[in-house]
Structure 1
Amino acid sequence: MFNLAIDSKLRGCDVVAMKVEDVAASGYTADHATVRQKKTGRPVRFELSEQTGQAVDDYLKAANKKPGEFLFTGRPGPERSMTTRQYARLVSEWIGSVGLDPWLFGTRSLRRTKATLIYRRAGNLRAVQLLLGHTKIESTARYLGIDVDDALAIVEQVDV
């Protein structure tokens, strides 16, 4: 779940709403997936790393998941998705188990992780904007904690 959250760069509400066919329409995890975001209604395409693909394949097999089912189900039953609160609790427990402070990291940290790494390595704010599904470059800069003047200077160097 956490690998998928990092690779997809989706908000928690979108991670828990994913269905099996979103990532494994043919029964095996695809290299790429597209999910429509709840907040914006816009589709976001993302790549799944080999490690994530293997983890999702193993999970699908162990949980006996079928197309049409939610990828991550909650307590009420298999026909309902995990709630964002359940997801947040799991992330908090996982963060604590790896020795980090759960008060400093959470579900948003998972969304931000890969986007920040991509920005640091490529310096391409527009690419990160597209990957996150943001409509405004200023939102992406603010989200990554980049000074708006620095971000705009980078944007001016990129032809769209």
Structure 2
Amino acid sequence: MFQMVPYAPKPTWNKDKLVGQKLPLKLEEIWSIRTRLDISNNLRELTMFNLALDCKLRACDFIKLKVSDVAHGTSVQARAMLIQQKTGKPVQFEITPKTKTTITSWIKSNGLKSDDYLFASRVKVHEHLSTR
């Protein structure tokens, strides 16, 4: 006769995995990342990393910044403001001296003008960097 095999449920995709909000970076991890980016002369990533730490916003928000949003002429502002994509609310954030230095170096090294995106796309002309 036909014998019934007991049903074995498939294990869930997140069994034994960390899901949800991740722990913030520790101070020593931040300095380690900064040092490695600085040593490798990776100015774009160092500028993005420092700016991301300062503004504490999603990448989709701060990659749309234009040079005129953070700098007037050759000097970088102490504060900047942007509109969050998700909430539509304006957010003001302070730019630390270390970030000011990297932004200034980034603008000078690429010869960016005030109407250029701070992080321009490498693929599409006159567009900002994509989060994808």
Q: Give the TM-score normalised by the residue count of structure 1.
A: 0.51
Structure 2: segments with no counterpart, 5+ residues: 1-47
Question: Is residue 13 from structure 1 mapped to residue 24 from structure 2 by the alignment?
Answer: no
In the TM superposition, structure 1's runs of 4+ consecutive aligned residues that sit over 4 Å from their partners are: none
Q: Give the TM-score normalised by the residue count of structure 2.
A: 0.61
Aligned to 1:119: none
- Give the whole-Å Cα distance in 2 for the aligned partners of 1:82 and 1:54: 21
Aligned to 1:81: 128
Aligned to 1:107: none
Give the deviation of 1:49 after TM superposition.
0.5
Equivalent residue of 2:126, what SS? Answer: strand
Q: Identical aligned pairs, as a percentage?
A: 39
State the Cα deviation string for residues 43-78 of structure 1 (Å, max 9, x = none). Answer: 100001100001000000001111111110112244
Aligned to 1:67: 114
- Give the whole-Å Cα distance in 2 for the aligned partners of 1:78 and 1:4: 23
Specify the structure having the higher radius of gyration (Cα): 2
Aligned to 1:22: 69
Matches within 5 A, 1:1-160: 1-85=48-132
| Structure 1 residues 79 and 44: alpha-carbon distance in aligned structure 2, compared to 1, 3 A threshold | same
RMSD: 1.1
Give the number of equivalent residue pairs. Answer: 85
| Structure 1 residues 6 and 60: alpha-carbon distance in aligned structure 2, compared to 1, 3 A threshold | same
| Structure 1 residues 49 and 67: alpha-carbon distance in aligned structure 2, compared to 1, 3 A threshold | same
User: Which structure has more helix as a fraction of its residues?
Assistant: 1
